[in-house]
């Protein structure tokens, strides 16, 4: 029986390996972005929590960490004022509620982005798995062909 | 590599160089586009703030208070400049893309020509 098994081109395997490497690199980049987004989203939600807590107890002393495990006792000078960085080196003064709403919106946006990224990563992973299977089959075919010789 | 004619080797080196240049330009373009997007978002956010809102701009490690209108004007200028840079990079990208395709074609035809010329000779064993 004549089959394609004996006709595996090593260059094809090399090409598939290259594709696999590229997919691997892309998955790594996307995963790093996903991690960063997750970190920023959690940071935003933590800030919302902090704002709400300070708003509820404005007279309470807050411990401000200054690094090295050291903290200083502080009290908000203006209880309902937050300075918010809105990007492009611009900082706007907002109320606690406005800031919390802005940060919550950003967190929702980031969550949606995270979902998209996760989908993309899973699709790429599927494609990479398919390529890996193809490489494995090609290697097997190559080995069979070599054994026949 | 020894079998590749010097002319083709030269073209291959040029192709790699063009590819690198293209990558650099694409990275720069992406970074400018991101900055423009961020500035547009800041303008959008500022427009929803009150007219007398207190606005600061970061200059190095200090923040300086400015009036909302002047910050908006600065941001609009920034967007304009960034968009111009993106356009200029797009032009460079197109030119490099054309150069890349031309070189690719030249190399392909040179390789095919070499293969055609060597068609009479028996293929070497792999």
pLDDT higher than 50, residue B84? yes
Touching check for A93 and chain B: CB below 8 Å? yes
A63 forms bridges with which residues in the sheet?
A73
pLDDT score at A7: 65
Name the token pair of A22: 């590229």
pLDDT score at B5: 84
Taking alpha carbons only, the member of B90, B65, B16, B123 closest to residue A92 is B65
Residue bearing tokens 């004619």:
B5
Which chain A residues are within 8 Å of B54, Cβ to Cβ? 92-93
pLDDT higher than 60, residue B119? no
More confident residue, B125 or A77: A77
Query: For the whole prediction, is pTM greater than 0.80?
Result: no
Q: At what angle are helices A96-148 and A10-56 packed, to 10 degrees? A: 160
Which chain A residues are within 8 Å of B55, Cβ to Cβ? 90-93
Which chain B residue's Cα is nearest to A91? B56
pLDDT score at B70: 95
Name the token pair of B80: 């304009």
Q: Are A113 and B78 in contact (CB under 8 A)?
A: no
pLDDT by position in tens, chain A (length 149): 344 445 678 888 899 999 999 999 999 999 999 999 999 999 999 999 999 999 999 889 999 999 999 999 999 999 899 999 999 999 999 999 999 999 999 999 999 999 999 999 999 999 999 999 999 998 888 888 888 87
pLDDT higher than 70, residue B74? yes
Touching check for A87 and chain B: CB below 8 Å? yes
Q: Are B39 and A88 in contact (CB under 8 A)?
A: yes
Touching check for B49 and chain A: CB below 8 Å? yes
Mean pLDDT on B79-102? 97
Touching check for A40 and chain B: CB below 8 Å? no
Which chain A residue's Cα is nearest to B44? A86
pLDDT higher than 70, residue B116? no
DSSP 8-state class, residue B122? P
Mean pLDDT on B59-65? 93
């Amino acid at each position: 029986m004549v089959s394609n098994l004996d006709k595996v081109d090593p260059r094809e395997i090399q090409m598939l390996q290259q594709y696999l490497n590229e997919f691997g690199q892309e998955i790594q980049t996307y995963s790093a972005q996903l991690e960063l987004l997750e970190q920023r989203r959690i940071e935003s939600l933590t800030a919302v929590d902090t704002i709400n807590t300070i708003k509820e107890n404005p007279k309470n002393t807050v411990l401000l960490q200054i690094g090295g495990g050291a903290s200083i006792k502080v009290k908000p000078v203006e209880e309902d004022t937050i300075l918010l960085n809105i990007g492009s080196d611009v900082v706007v003064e907002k109320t606690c509620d406005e800031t919390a709403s802005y940060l919550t919106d950003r967190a929702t946006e980031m969550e949606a982005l995270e979902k998209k990224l996760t989908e993309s990563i899973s699709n790429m992973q599927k494609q990479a798995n398919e390529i890996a299977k193809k490489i494995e089959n090609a290697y097997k075919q190559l080995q069979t062909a070599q054994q026949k010789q | 590599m020894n079998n590749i004619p010097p002319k083709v080797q030269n073209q291959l080196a040029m192709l790699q160089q063009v590819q690198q240049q293209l990558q650099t330009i694409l990275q720069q373009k992406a970074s400018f586009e991101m900055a423009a997007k961020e500035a547009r978002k800041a303008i959008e956010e500022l427009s929803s703030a009150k007219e007398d809102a207190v606005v600061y701009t970061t200059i190095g490690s200090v923040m300086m208070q400015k009036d909302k209108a002047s910050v908006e004007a600065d941001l609009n200028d920034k967007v304009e400049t960034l968009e111009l840079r993106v356009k200029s990079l797009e032009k460079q990208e197109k030119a490099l893309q054309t150069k890349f395709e031309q070189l690719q074609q030249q190399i392909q035809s040179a390789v095919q020509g070499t293969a055609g010329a060597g068609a009479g000779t028996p293929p070497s064993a792999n």
